[in-house]
A and B are shown apart, each in its own frame.
Chain A
Amino acid sequence: MVKLVGIAGSIGEQSYNRMLLEFIRDHFKKTVDIEILDINDVPMFNEDEDHNDNPVVHELARKISGANGVILATPEHNHTVPAAMKNVIEWLSNNVHPLNGKAVWIVGASYHTQGSSRAQLHLKQILESPGVNAFVMPGNEFLLSNAKEAFNADGSLKDARTVGFLDSVMKKFLTFMKVIEMMDAPDPKNAHEEDMDSKHPVNTTVEGVDMNDPEWVEKAAEKTHAASGGDYVKLDRGLLTVDQLNYFLNSMAGELTFADDNNQFIYYNHNAEASQMLAARTPDQAGDPLSAVHPGRVIEHVKQVLYALRTGQSDVVSMPAQTGPNQHVMHYYRAMRDENRRYRGVNELVIDIMPILKYYLAATGQKLVKDPDAVPMSPITGLDAVTGASAHSTPSTDATSGASASTASAKPEPAKDPIDMDSLTGASEEAQPGYTAAENSAPAQKPESAPESDTDATTGASEH
């Protein structure tokens, strides 16, 4: 459900603007989840004292950041917004900027005829200043005048036409929020324009922390006052603590990596040393732009995968990496999309499918034989360009991985070559004497002779 936060602009008084917000919350509760935030305890803003450590301000910032949009209900004091409302905005435009890029709907109630018209205009100007940088819904002014007579005893609005207008504006605001949420979506015109240096921040990007900092995770967590440990996180569908989320993700049957829509590598399920991983990652790499975790020769190919996922040409791209008689490591790149179908990044799963295959054969009493009628296909799926151009690839996995070995051993690919799966997987074919079925459940051993940067050419964090 769409999540909004509402702030009533005055403090310490019986407020018709708060009543209006409460009515909006209750009236739309079937379609929209609205939380009304309390600003009574926000201290007077002082730029000398804004050291990013005020818990009341943090909580407000966190809730606003987590919302799809904001409703501000303002009375009018002296032809302007109440100082209490302005004060909150000052805190939220100095050290932290949770309103940046956020959709805002302004409403207002007043005792007399004006319905806070002038305060609403000032508020718009304030919200559009560069430090705040919110997106205020244009038009659709909701001015509730004569507020004392406007409500029934149960807090509902008396006038059906007013409620009808509110309905129509909420409908527009829901659309407006979708449009605004698309505003910062990176929009490369072709694969080559994919920004591997992550220089197009999105609304989840943590600003002010160097992406290449080895302690990016710690610093970004401090900056965002991230939930941790025993803090609960509400999910679709369930409720877990951050610890429980880690147990869960770290015990997944595969290596998971999250790169966001700004092509920033922001997460992997860290349950093994790099040397024990199918696709090596190290803790210091989290936060890096994708360009920093890929060798230059594969960058253009990675861009093609990202572009296919971002633009919806594919929902999944898959390709083999280390392959051999006892191991067939697959990389699956899945597009992640939000409720508006906006691309929000790539979910990469690295998993050895050979144990699954062997189990299946053993359990069903079958064995593998060559298929003389096999139609040649690329082992890469989800990239049209590749499958079309891959007739040169021979169908058998052996031949594929054999070709990889030669790629890995030598020539750097010119960046703009058409994709060919060898350079994408960058994999190597080597005998894997240590690998036995008995070790299936342990992290698969890396082929000793494969250079580390090659085993993971496409998939992320192997550049050292």
Chain B
Amino acid sequence: MKKFVALVGTNTAKSTNRKLLQYMKKRYADDAEIEVVELKGLPIFKKSEEVYIPQQARDIADKIDASDGVIIGTPEYDHSIPALLSSALAWLSYGIHPLMDKPVMIVGTSYGTLGASRAQAQLRQILDSPELKATVLPSSEFLLGHSLQAFDDNGDLKSATESQKLDGLFDDFLEFVDLTEKLGHSKQIHEQEASSTFSWDNGTTGDDK
């Protein structure tokens, strides 16, 4: 059975993204073991001469390393991903590269109608950057709008349309994980680049400071 790490993109207690990830954990329990992982508590990313990485980030990196893929649930703050998620991704690409070539599925919820669409678009760009180079499930979006009303008392999605859509995407993601196994040709080069180009001077592995 596949193992996935599901990152909750926000630290608020009332997150509907957490609800969505918990719903997925429950709904797809027969197909995959999903561990919902909190980012709350991570400090804001900053570089240091000793390239210090907080233990919480290292623990998350270990979990991702041991998984077959990552699901990220993001809300939208100011048309982009929360600083917390941004920080987490920076820590997870600061001399360590757990997300490199890792299959990633993006989902997002919002209180309004748009379902974090712009945050999701930015998140794809970020995951494409040279230090991250995650392999994001293409041509798929799960945008859950009006998320405060979207769940029933059991934490299940009320809308059959939405839950069927998510089922389809998750099935695709399972296939995608197998598919990416076969995309190994550039993997080694990515990892070499990442470790060889890293220096304090450019802070990260080749991107701009």
Interface residues of A (CB under 8 A from B): 10-13, 15-16, 42, 44-48, 75-84, 86-87, 89-90, 93, 110-112, 114-116, 118-119, 122, 125-129, 131-132, 145, 147-148
Contact = CB atoms under 8 A, between A and B. Distances in A.
Given A48-B14, A110-B209, A112-B202, A118 B82 contact: no
A46 B83 contact: no
B82 A78 contact: no
Contacts of A115: 208
A13 B78 contact: no
A185 B128 CA distance: 43
B59 interface: no
Contacts of A89: 78, 83
A83 B12 contact: no
Interface residues of B, number: 42
Contact of B90 (A13, A47, A82): A82
B132 A44 contact: no
B46 A13 contact: yes
Nearest to B208: A110
B97 to A, nearest CB: 12
Contacts of B89: 78
Nearest to B76: A129
A11 B44 CA distance: 9
Contacts of B131: 78
B7 to A, nearest CB: 14
B48 to A, nearest CB: 6
Contact of B78 (A48, A77, A93, A118): A93
Nearest to B52: A12
A83 B209 CA distance: 13
B48 A12 contact: yes
Contacts of B93: 78
Interface stretch (B61-69, B118-126, B141-149): B118-126
Nearest to A119: B208
A333 B118 CA distance: 50
A147 B89 CA distance: 24
Given A10-B47, A44-B11, A129-B78, A83 B208 contact: no
Contacts of B48: 12-13
B129 interface: yes
B126 A111 contact: no
A131 B79 CA distance: 9
A64 to B, nearest CB: 15
B208 A112 contact: yes
Among B78, B79, B122, B126, which residue has the most Cβ atoms of chain A within 10 A?
B78
Contact of B46 (A11, A76, A112, A118): A11
B204 A77 contact: yes
A84 B45 CA distance: 7
B195 interface: no
Nearest to A147: B209
A78 B203 contact: no
A46 B208 contact: no
A56 B177 CA distance: 45
B56 interface: no
Contact of A77 (B14, B80, B90, B125): B90
Top 4 nearest A-B pairs by Cβ distance? A12-B46, A110-B208, A87-B83, A83-B87
B28 interface: no
B80 to A, nearest CB: 5
17 contacts: A12-B47, A13-B46, A44-B11, A44-B42, A44-B84, A45-B83, A78-B86, A83-B86, A84-B44, A86-B81, A111-B203, A115-B208, A118-B125, A122-B80, A128-B79, A147-B209, A148-B201
